[in-house]
Amino acid sequence: MTKITILHNPRCSKSREALALIQTRSNQINVIEYLKNTPSEDEISHILSLLGLSARQLMRTKESEYKELGLDNVNLTEVQLIEAMVNTPKLIERPIVLSNGKAAIGRPPENVLAIIE
């Protein structure tokens, strides 16, 4: 059975729903509370490549920190945006599930089924 990793925030209902959905299908789950164990810049870059997204597309742009840190500046580079996510992990969209060399954002939670089944 393939190991599944979830970047999880237990305070987020969508993250809890995605984890519960995964638990019904696998017991090989690596749960990473990303607010406590923030992914590195390389890990975020890897996740972005698996998702086929830009850094800004992985960011929670409605968080107050996004505007406060000036991250809405269109001139910021991918590296700068990734660095901001490492420094302020609250900005990372959640949950992110990794399995079978693929990644999915669990919004809605059912999105993760495509990569775990």
76 and 55 fall within a common domain: yes
Query: Which CATH number belongs to the domain containing residue 71 in this structure?
Result: 3.40.30.10
pLDDT at site 12: 96
Over residues 98-108, the mean pLDDT reads 95
Residue 8 tokens, joined: 């999880």
Over residues 37-57, the mean pLDDT reads 98
* Position with higher pLDDT, 9 vs 3: 9
86 and 107 fall within a common domain: no
| Residue 1 pLDDT level (bands cut at 50, 70, 90) | low
**CA distance linking residue 114 with residue 96, whole number of Å:** 13
60 and 100 fall within a common domain: no
- The domain total for the chain is 2
- Catalytic residue (one of 12, 69, 86, 113): 12
**What's the mean per-residue pLDDT of the chain?**
96
70 a catalytic residue: no
Domain extent at residue 103:
1-34+94-117
- Long-range own/partner contacts, residues 35-41 (CB < 8 A, 24 or more apart): 35/9, 35/89, 35/90, 38/86, 38/89, 39/7, 39/86, 39/89, 39/92, 40/86, 41/79, 41/82, 41/83, 41/86
